[in-house]
Amino acid sequence: MFKHLFKLIWNKKKQNFLLMSEILISFLVIFAVFTLMAYYYNNYKKPMGLDYENVWVVNYNNAYATKNTDSLNTYYETMRQTLKAMPQVSELSFCSDNTPFSQNTMQSGMTVKGKKIDHINNFTIEDSYDKTLGLKILEGRWFNKGDAVAKNKPIVINDELREEIFGNEPAVGKLIGDDGDKNKMKIIGVIQGVKVKGDYLPAGFGQYSRADTGSFHWFGKIMIKVTPDADAAFEGHLYKTLANYMKNSDIEIEHLTNKRISTNYFAVVPIIVLTIVSCFLIINVALGLFGVLWYNINKRRGEIGLRRALGATGKSVSGQLVSESMLVATLSLIVGTFFAVQFPLLNVFSLQAGIYITAIILAVIFIYLLVLVCSLYPGKQAAAIYPAVALHEE
């Protein structure tokens, strides 16, 4: 029967062309949606790499306009002591503007052993940064005061960058930097990747450098880990303290939990838009499929009557029409899958092959279900055709 149905469809390929094209385009759109979903889910299930609860971000600017680095360091050290004296402040760290869940990025690239690595996020932070954010050390250690006098600039990298450069080998103690650069940096630790762009986006490559005495000239953020009992009253008190200390500065206090929520919201906007667009497309395809099948049944009433006369049951007629639709879908899906598998094969967008394969499988299942649902009712109608009437109409 399969061969018979295939012949029937193949001999009607011109009539089926539009339907097959429609299914093919739907498959490709659904594949895109599922790829994005699989990508987001794959990122979502990975650990955040930081503890964002009870962490506040203080944004400031123009706090102390001086070119004298010593004065500047003293100014901020005094501020640090003032803040640390507050019972609700557990830990704090001054840092570069690219705090977690912010829109700021500071990226660089390097060529290691001829391999170019782009989009490395550079974080300049203090020794207390790991405790403030609860970072997880996987290998080696975090920064300490002794690093100030190290021969090679010490850095901490994240697991993603370690894997990119060294594969499964340990990284601690190794020197990295551009191939031509004589001032190599020494890796002293590896941390779990921090998903700084929210739950749905990957941690990316991360490189952490210790703030030096000149960093306060351009720093504009303080990460503060507060105790769970730190409330709005404390936030007001903190704000007043900072405003009194940094009189010329615009100060803003944000909660990392809220920033995470808004970052996640912006991350899912594309998928929401794409899903809405694809929903409209799918509704159109479903209606198209339904219409075409309905039309086919009316056009093929004579054939249906004939098949009933020759020994087909109502169920087998219905099954035949559903099978024909599934076969048409299969032909489209073969073509669609051919295009879809090019993405992992050609490493388009540098996503893991597993994400594309998952998306292909889900899109195939979705299209089959769509075609099945759309052909069930017309199939049932076909089964109800009275053979004597249908044969007489022809």
Partner 1 sequence: MIQLQNIEKVYRTSTVETLALSSISLDIAKGEFLSIMGPSGCGKSTLLNIMGLLDAPSKGQIKIGDQKTENLSDKQLANFRNQKLGFIFQSYHLINDLQVLDNVELPLLYRNSTAKERKALASEALAKVGLANRMKHFPNQLSGGQKQRVAIARAIVGRPEIILADEPTGNLDSAMGNEIMDILMQLNQNDGTTIVMVTHDENMAHKTHRLVRLFDGSQVQ
Residue 1 is a binding residue for partner 1 (CB under 8 A)? yes
Segment near partner 1 (CB under 8 A), from 6-14, 145-153, 254-262, 357-365?
Answer: 6-14
Nearer to partner 1, 7 or 217 (CB): 7
Query: Is 374 a binder of partner 1 (CB under 8 A)?
Result: no
Task: Please choose, out of 129-137, 205-213, 223-231, 307-315, the segment that lies near partner 1 by the rule CB under 8 A.
Answer: 307-315
Note whether 387 binds partner 1 by CB under 8 A: yes
- The secondary structure of 59-120 as a DSSP string is E--S----S-HHHHHHHHHHHHHHHHTSTTEEEEEEE-S--TTSS---EEEEEETTEEEEEE
Check residue 307 for interaction with partner 1 (CB under 8 A).
yes
Of the residues 6, 8, 82, 86, which one makes contact with partner 1 according to CB under 8 A = 8
Determine the interface stretch with partner 1 among 22-30, 49-57, 143-151, 311-319 (rule: CB under 8 A): 311-319
Judged by CB under 8 A, the number of residues near partner 1 is 27
- Regarding 353 and contact with partner 1 (CB under 8 A), the answer is no
313 binding partner 1? (CB under 8 A): yes
Of 81-89, 115-123, 298-306, 349-357, which segment contacts partner 1 by CB under 8 A?
Answer: 298-306
Candidate residues 277, 309, 361, 365; the one interacting with partner 1 per rule CB under 8 A: 309
Q: Does 380 contact partner 1 by CB under 8 A?
A: no
CA distance 98 to 196: 9
φ/ψ (deg, to 5) at 158? -95, 170
- Closest approach of Cβ 285 to partner 1, in Å? 24
Should residue 84 be labelled a site residue for partner 1 when binding is judged by CB under 8 A? no
The verdict on 302 binding partner 1 (CB under 8 A) reads yes
Among 165, 188, 312, 322, binds partner 1 (CB under 8 A): 312
Determine the Cα–Cα distance for residues 362 and 351; give it in Å rounded to an integer. Answer: 17
Rounded Cα–Cα distance for residues 56 and 260 (Å): 12
The answer to whether 308 contacts partner 1 (rule: CB under 8 A) is yes
Q: Which span (74-82, 297-305, 337-345, 367-375) binds partner 1, by CB under 8 A?
A: 297-305
For residue 16, how many other CB atoms are within 10 A of its CB?
Answer: 21
3-class state of residue 355 by DSSP: helix
Contact 279, 24 (CB under 8 A): no
Nearer to partner 1, 305 or 378 (CB): 305
Sequence letter at residue 311: G
Cα gap 371→27, rounded to integer Å: 11
Residue 267 near partner 1 by CB under 8 A? no
Which value, to the nearest 10 degrees, does the dihedral of the CA atoms of residues 299, 302, 307, 313 take? 80
Is 229 a binding residue for partner 1 by CB under 8 A? The answer is: no
Collect all residues with Cβ–Cβ distance below 8 Å to 286 and sequence separation of at least 6: 370, 373, 374
Answer yes or no whether residue 381 interacts with partner 1 by CB under 8 A: no
Which range, of 139-147, 220-228, 351-359, 382-390, touches partner 1 by CB under 8 A?
A: 382-390
H-state helical runs in the chain: 2-11, 13-44, 69-84, 129-133, 159-166, 232-245, 256-299, 301-310, 314-340, 342-345, 353-383, 387-393
CA dist 239 → 60, 245, 291, 379 (Å): 11, 10, 65, 69
Interface residue list for partner 1 (CB under 8 A): 1, 3-4, 7-8, 11-12, 302-303, 305-316, 386-388, 391-392, 394
